[in-house]
Structure 1
Amino acid sequence: MSHETSTLTRFGVVRQYPVDLAVVSVVAVLAYALATSLPEGSVLRLLAAFPLLLFLPGYALVSVLFPAASRNARETTGRSIEREVRGIDVVERLGLSGALSLAVVPLVGLALPFTSWGFGTLPTAAALAIITVVLAQVGVVRRLRLPAAKRFTVSPLAYISGAGRESGTVATASSLVLVLAVGLAASALLVGFLAPVSTGGFTELALYTENEDGDMVTDNIGGEIEAGDSVPVTVSIDNQEGEETEYTVVVQEQVIEDGEVVERNDLEQLETSLDDGTRGTGDLDVTPTADSGEEVRVSVLLYDGEAPEEPTNDNATEDTYFWVTVED
């Protein structure tokens, strides 16, 4: 007999399991799976990350803090308010969910670098999903401990009918303002995730040389050389412009006096075309034409398309340089 009662009790708990918290838990796991499996830059990946970042953790935390439904002030007394668990309505719950999510996510981002997992897409999504699921289960326990009549339940029809019976216009207006504020904030953040095109693309220019160990490094380029010797350098161009781009590279020897370029001499010029998201490299042997004992600056100037008639560091799309001293 006791066995049958235990079984019925377990099924009763399952039937009473809050639907909203079950959905939150499942969506958090699905969002984690999509955010970590889809390719970077995918619209579906951004859509999956949106609720995990801006809603789900906060909703689960609100469920822990406020397991009860809101009560009509006319149906309670001062003594009952002190003894009963504080409840909030649907609009307040949604507003707090967004606000608390924006508070939880930065804390996760600050804590992860101090863990063995580090900060990245996978650990961040995993941490937010775990936090959401754990908080949701705590919210389930908190809600089921209340009498059934006082628990918060998701019932759109009941909420609409209850809103229609509200006598205070101030409460109605504040609820509408809160809904609009949450909607506008969420929309603005979603647009920021899905349409970051205002930042534009970029091109990265870098110079490398081989050290004594055979490794490619960015320092110790140039220095002191004998007259007629060349400086071996590797030019690297990374195209992140969002489209195929044609480039022109001008290697220019410059004589500097009092911080101003007083003489220019184009040593080499090359052209290349790179697809979006690709990196191209080229090996150059730069031979300065400066006289012995003279120090010159060798600038590598990068242009989108053709180079102007007078290439300078100011009109280049990207530029970098190194110094060379020619010895006897």
Structure 2
Amino acid sequence: MASDIRDAVLREVERRPCATVEEIVNEVSSRVGVPREYVAYELMMLWKRGAVELEGYPMDNRAMYFLSIEGLWYWVVLGISLASLSAVLLISSGPLMYIRYALGALMTLFMPGYSLVETLYPRGDELKPLERLALSIGLSLAITPLIGLILNYTPWGIRLIPIVVSTTLVTTALLTTAAIRKSNYYLSRRSRCFG
């Protein structure tokens, strides 16, 4: 059924290359007899794979990417990183220690690798979600000891605060690089009509 929807979307795009997304979705939905959500999803997946281009993509510059829905992941992950930093630095005892443990484990075992995976694979369709998860955990298990090794040769040494701050800085730097690469990808895909 999904292939029928994709084929109908591609035929409609070829027939009306400068139609709006809403017009394409409505036309294919009524022609194939499926809900609009299915058609919209298939159109989005075709767009992500590069099979169709969208007109008037609202991002004219990098700042628009960071303020759009596509840039929301950056703010969520950055917020989690900063919450982890705050939890480790501010919570030292009591029942809130479990929050510190959870955020600290997330920051150590997932976030650095996730940031690197997003930097290396900026498009959403290059890896499956399970592959992204496995790579994120594996790369985090490689990045975190490297941070510790580098800290061992600095005046700060391997202590809690230098490790937490360094991990947060590395994660933030990788996240920002990933967001810039993703914004470049989205900006390069702008076009005048479907194509």
TM-score of the alignment, normalized to the shorter chain, above 0.5: yes
Structure 1 residue 15, shift from structure 2 partner: 1.7
Corresponding position of 1:119: 158
Q: Percentage identity across aligned positions?
A: 28
Tell me whether 1:29 sits opposite 2:68 in the alignment: no
Structure 1 residue 149, shift from structure 2 partner: 9.7
Larger Rg: 1
Structure 1 residue 11, shift from structure 2 partner: 5.6
Corresponding position of 1:130: 169
Corresponding position of 1:57: 112
Corresponding position of 2:134: 95
- How far apart, CA to CA, are the structure 2 residues paired with 1:127 and 1:40? 23
Corresponding position of 1:12: 64
SS in 2 for 1:68: coil
Residues 121-160 of structure 1: per-residue CA shift (max 9 Å, x gap): 111010111111110000001111114798xxxxxxxxxx
Written as runs of structure 1 = structure 2, the 5 A alignment for 1:229-244 is none
| Contact 1:21 1:60 (8 Å CA) reproduced | no
Structure 1 residue 111, shift from structure 2 partner: 1.1
Structure 1 residue 116, shift from structure 2 partner: 2.0
Residues 299-319 of structure 1: per-residue CA shift (max 9 Å, x gap): xxxxxxxxxxxxxxxxxxxxx
Structure 1 residue 59, shift from structure 2 partner: 0.5
Structure 1 residues 114 and 58, CA gap change in structure 2 (3 angstroms): same
- How far apart, CA to CA, are the structure 1 residues paired with 2:155 and 2:174? 23
Corresponding position of 1:66: 121
- Greater relative contact order (Cα 8 A, min sep 6): structure 1 or 2? 2
Structure 1 residues 11 and 102, CA gap change in structure 2 (3 angstroms): closer
Structure 1 residues 10 and 68, CA gap change in structure 2 (3 angstroms): closer
Q: What residue ranges of structure 2 are gaps of 5+ in the alignment? A: 1-59, 190-195
Q: What residue ranges of structure 1 are gaps of 5+ in the alignment? A: 1-7, 71-86, 151-328
| Contact 2:117 2:132 (8 Å CA) reproduced | yes
Tell me whether 1:106 sits opposite 2:131 in the alignment: no
| Contact 1:68 1:143 (8 Å CA) reproduced | yes
RMSD: 2.3
Structure 1 residue 43, shift from structure 2 partner: 2.3
Written as runs of structure 1 = structure 2, the 5 A alignment for 1:172-191 is none
AA aligned to 1:55 is: F
Written as runs of structure 1 = structure 2, the 5 A alignment for 1:293-308 is none
The answer to which structure has the higher strand fraction is 1
SS in 1 for 2:155: coil
Structure 1 residue 16, shift from structure 2 partner: 5.5
Structure 1 residue 17, shift from structure 2 partner: 5.0
Question: Paired residue for 1:143, among 160, 182, 185?
Answer: 182
- How far apart, CA to CA, are the structure 2 residues paired with 1:88 and 1:97? 12
- How far apart, CA to CA, are the structure 2 residues paired with 1:27 and 1:10? 22
- How far apart, CA to CA, are the structure 1 residues paired with 2:121 and 2:62? 25
